[in-house]
A and B are shown apart, each in its own frame.
Chain A
Amino acid sequence: MKNEKRMKRIATYVFLILVSFIFFFPFYFLIVSITNPSIDITRGDLLPGSHLIENFRTMIETTPIGLSIWNSALVSVGQTIISIFVSSLAGYGFEVHPSRGKEVVYNIILLSMMIPFAALMVPLFRLFGTISGIVPALGIDTLFGVVLPYVSTAFLVFFFRQNTKMFPKELIEAGRIDGLSELGIFVKIFIPTMKTTYAAAGIVTFMNSWNNYLWPLIVLQSPSNYTVPLVISAMGSGYTIDYGSVMIAIFITTIPTAVIFFVLQKYFVQGMVGSIK
């Protein structure tokens, strides 16, 4: 009986170790590759080499990687803060405030999730062409232009509304009785109570924004405004590719997302499950 249990356990662990190995392998290959010259990477060398410094130098010399990391950071942090604030305000409003026709509006917002971004791209670009004509600082080829379409996303509104359902309405009543304004209730009661939800939404938004490719590609035109994915994509094109410097660029840009995920992991899982204590 006991033996059987142990065997089961061993089998589970063997399985888990195998799976984690499979998941870890690409990362291992990345780490090994940053130390190898391009030719060894294409040859599939799995042992560390001594080419790290050369790769690093090539990357620094041939790409605006530092600048693009700074741009990406600005865009991602800005987008995360603005969009979770705006979207949570909307999600909260939809759930808490009674209003005629709100379900219809809400459903229309949800339906917009079904339109692929590729279909919106040309009209969106036209819109930004007009914006550029009026306020150039918000239009084409500005970092603000990258953020603007994502300030309110259907997914986040939906995510916050679903989580607001679990928010105890008594707290709102209590706030009102104590004389808090509606916005005060939102800022002083709702946000602190829903920390985990905000953390989860924050991680998702940050990662989406950090890895966002298509829209920045279209809207950003001067290399000095490029975000990281655009720079890496450009490195990987051409008749001959220096895989060493590509790998090191990828490695450097993986770090922020990895760090943020590990730091906020606890909240992330809680937020996804949706818990209020």
Chain B
Amino acid sequence: MFSKKHLFLSASAVLLLAACGNGDDETGDTGDTGEETTEETSGDMNELTVWTWDPNFNVRALEMAEERYQEENPDFSLNIVENSQEDVVQRLNTSLSSGVDTGLPQIVFIEDYRAPSFLNSYDDAFYPLGDYYNTDEFADYKVAAGTVDGNVYNVPFDTGVTGLYARTDYLEEAGYSLEDLEDITWDEYIEIGKDVYDQTGIKWITNDHGDLGLMRIMLQSSGVWWTEDDGTTPYIADNEALKMAFEDYKEMVEADIMNVHNEWDQFIQTFNNGDVVTVPTGNWISASIMQAEDQSGNWGIAPIPRQDMEGSVNASNLGGSSIYVLQGEGQEAAAEFLAATFGSDVEFYQELVTEINALGAYEPAMEGEAYEQESEFYGGQQIFQDLSEWTQEIPEVEFGQRTYEIQDILAVALQDYLNGADLDEVLQNAQEQAESNM
């Protein structure tokens, strides 16, 4: 009886396995062949795998780089694996922390805010690139995001240089022009906003209370962050710039000049519908603004306002990413490819601007023709010229390893402050909470 039962169990197990085997045969095979081909080519490393996001931006840029590189290296090719940014982070984290290197790419894109935590958590995982290209030719703050203990691990890609995007027609209606928004402080920005709102009834700015991007813009323009230079100690309670940012934010809310959106698509909806006068944000927003073709000629870009304190400049950054190489087979090939394209190819950067409006942080490229073109949509303004000039002025800050973690704490603090709590107290609490999380 007993052995019979066993026999049945094992028989059914075998049957089941066989059934699965059949059912999945095809996929098993494709999986196999897929692996074989990558292995074959990875022997001489002519095909490099890249993990990135954004089909119209990062992927396009890579394809353009691949094409240019192929002129000299006809056997070279890229295998571009596209996921959303969160997904790339998730996969990279799982792979690196489990120590399994099966399927890891040679090249990966990482947002500058997240880079320090990757570089510090997995210090053996990344391949230093500082010797492959001339880091002095790039904006300092971009290179700094990928530097740990003096080793440069990144090749900078797009700059998140900010601009104050503004509807010139609304401004004119209220008796202002784009020049009135140049070289101003946030306080002056708010004053003009109140006046424009009074006259036109259109909100001055739109923001999501949970996304502190605006605060990050303000802080970086003053050269500080919400962590100290060591990258982990919270710098909140005594942070004058942050305090000022909170005060300005509240003033915008209380003066009723701020429209509140909740989601990214609502954000885009707000300016596409013409429900807001200014959008202070990173230059990558351009393509979304230009979607509304009926608003052509009615937009302009002024430099971002500065904070009313010493050392603050009319230039800042929001977002942007850099390219990293993972240690392992193919690391040299990957580094050489990046150095020859993103690291030194002036013409390539011209193409990036013309084809996909991607703005790099590579100084020698700025002289080129592409940067001088006038944008009809922005009323004939040489927007790339202006934005690149501001890029060079962006103060360098140490993003540290806790940008998003502390942002979550501060978002709650902001909510308390908006509800009437005392600012010093709110920031002190946030400081303590951030310290206890260390």
CA distance A237 to B54 in the complex (A): 6
In the assembled complex, A137 has its CB within 8 A of some CB on chain B: yes
A218-B90, A224-B34, A240-B288 are known contacts. Are A140 and B20 too (CB-CB below 8 A)? no
Q: What's the minimum C-beta distance from B406 to chain A, rounded to whole angstroms? A: 21
Q: What's the minimum C-beta distance from A56 to chain B, rounded to whole angstroms? A: 17
A85-B16, A223-B82 are known contacts. Are A181 and B8 too (CB-CB below 8 A)? yes
CA distance A234 to B57 in the complex (A): 13
CA distance A118 to B54 in the complex (A): 25
Closest to A187 in B: B12
Q: What's the minimum C-beta distance from B105 to chain A, rounded to whole angstroms? A: 9
Q: What's the minimum C-beta distance from B272 to chain A, rounded to whole angstroms? A: 6
B272 touches A144 (CB 8 A): no
A42-B272, A217-B87 are known contacts. Are A129 and B100 too (CB-CB below 8 A)? yes
Residue among A181, A225, A240 facing the most chain B CB atoms (10 A cut-off): A240
Closest to B25 in A: A137
- The interface on chain A, measured as residues whose beta carbon lies within 8 A of the other chain's beta carbons, has a size of 53
B268 touches A182 (CB 8 A): no
B34 touches A237 (CB 8 A): no
A44-B269, A85-B16 are known contacts. Are A234 and B31 too (CB-CB below 8 A)? no
Closest to A225 in B: B31
Query: Within 8 Å CB of A43, what residues of B?
Result: 269, 272-273
Query: Within 8 Å CB of A225, what residues of B?
Result: 27, 30-31, 34
B54 touches A142 (CB 8 A): no
B35 touches A230 (CB 8 A): no
Query: Within 8 Å CB of A144, what residues of B?
Result: 20, 24, 27-28, 31
Q: What's the minimum C-beta distance from A5 to chain B, rounded to whole angstroms? A: 43
Q: What's the minimum C-beta distance from B438 to chain A, rounded to whole angstroms? A: 22
CA distance A69 to B56 in the complex (A): 23
Interface stretch of the complex, out of B91-99, B198-206, B377-385: B91-99
* B57, B94, B102, B103: the one within 8 Å of A239 (CB): B57
B91 touches A217 (CB 8 A): yes
Query: Within 8 Å CB of A214, what residues of B?
Result: 90
Contacting A at CB under 8 A, from B143-167, are none
Residue among B27, B268, B287 facing the most chain A CB atoms (10 A cut-off): B27
Q: What's the minimum C-beta distance from B49 to chain A, rounded to whole angstroms? A: 8
Contact code string A131-147 (vs B, CB < 8 Å = 1, else 0): 01000110111111001
A42-B272, A43-B269 are known contacts. Are A221 and B81 too (CB-CB below 8 A)? yes
Contact code string A208-252 (vs B, CB < 8 Å = 1, else 0): 000000100110011111000010011111111101000000000
A183 touches B12 (CB 8 A): yes
Query: Within 8 Å CB of B30, what residues of A?
Result: 224-225
Query: Within 8 Å CB of B269, what residues of A?
Result: 42-44
B265 touches A243 (CB 8 A): yes
A239 touches B98 (CB 8 A): no
In the assembled complex, A20 has its CB within 8 A of some CB on chain B: no
Query: Within 8 Å CB of A150, what residues of B?
Result: none
In the assembled complex, A175 has its CB within 8 A of some CB on chain B: no
Contact code string A98-112 (vs B, CB < 8 Å = 1, else 0): 000000000000000
A126 touches B100 (CB 8 A): yes
Contact code string A182-223 (vs B, CB < 8 Å = 1, else 0): 110000000000000000000000000000001001100111
Query: Within 8 Å CB of A235, what residues of B?
Result: 55
In the assembled complex, B53 has its CB within 8 A of some CB on chain A: yes
CA distance A235 to B97 in the complex (A): 27
Query: Within 8 Å CB of B90, what residues of A?
Result: 214, 217-218
CA distance A240 to B57 in the complex (A): 9
Closest to B4 in A: A181
In the assembled complex, A122 has its CB within 8 A of some CB on chain B: yes
Closest to A213 in B: B87
CA distance A214 to B16 in the complex (A): 27
In the assembled complex, A78 has its CB within 8 A of some CB on chain B: yes
A125-B98, A129-B100, A182-B8 are known contacts. Are A143 and B31 too (CB-CB below 8 A)? yes
Q: What's the minimum C-beta distance from B359 to chain A, rounded to whole angstroms? A: 11
Q: What's the minimum C-beta distance from B72 to chain A, rounded to whole angstroms? A: 27
Query: Within 8 Å CB of A44, what residues of B?
Result: 269, 273
Contact code string A30-41 (vs B, CB < 8 Å = 1, else 0): 000000001101
CA distance A214 to B93 in the complex (A): 13
A143 touches B27 (CB 8 A): yes
In the assembled complex, B291 has its CB within 8 A of some CB on chain A: yes
CA distance A243 to B85 in the complex (A): 17
Closest to B97 in A: A122
A39 touches B272 (CB 8 A): yes
Q: What's the minimum C-beta distance from B28 to chain A, rounded to whole angstroms? A: 4
In the assembled complex, B83 has its CB within 8 A of some CB on chain A: yes
In the assembled complex, A272 has its CB within 8 A of some CB on chain B: no
Contacting B at CB under 8 A, from A131-182, are 132, 136-137, 139-144, 147, 181-182
Query: Within 8 Å CB of B291, what residues of A?
Result: 38-39, 42, 240
A141-B31, A233-B83 are known contacts. Are A125 and B95 too (CB-CB below 8 A)? yes
Closest to B34 in A: A222
CA distance A125 to B102 in the complex (A): 10
Contact code string B250-273 (vs A, CB < 8 Å = 1, else 0): 000000000000000100110011
A238 touches B55 (CB 8 A): yes
A42-B268, A238-B56 are known contacts. Are A140 and B100 too (CB-CB below 8 A)? yes
B16 touches A217 (CB 8 A): no
In the assembled complex, B353 has its CB within 8 A of some CB on chain A: no
In the assembled complex, B23 has its CB within 8 A of some CB on chain A: yes
Q: What's the minimum C-beta distance from B188 to chain A, rounded to whole angstroms? A: 29
A42 touches B265 (CB 8 A): yes
A39 touches B292 (CB 8 A): yes
* A74, A218, A237: the one within 8 Å of B94 (CB): A218
Closest to B95 in A: A125
- 15 further contact pairs, Cβ within 8 A, besides A143-B24, A239-B56, A239-B57: A43-B273, A85-B16, A128-B100, A132-B100, A137-B31, A143-B28, A144-B28, A183-B9, A183-B12, A217-B91, A230-B87, A238-B57, A239-B288, A241-B265, A243-B265
12 pairs from A and B in contact (CB 8 Å cutoff):
A39-B272, A42-B269, A74-B23, A132-B102, A136-B35, A137-B31, A183-B12, A214-B90, A222-B103, A234-B87, A239-B57, A240-B291
A residues at B contact (CB < 8 Å):
38-39, 41-44, 62, 71, 74, 78, 81-82, 85-86, 121-123, 125-126, 128-129, 132, 136-137, 139-144, 147, 181-183, 214, 217-218, 221-225, 230, 233-241, 243
Listed from nearest, the 9 A-B pairs whose CB atoms lie closest are A129-B100, A237-B84, A238-B54, A221-B103, A142-B31, A143-B27, A239-B284, A137-B28, A240-B287
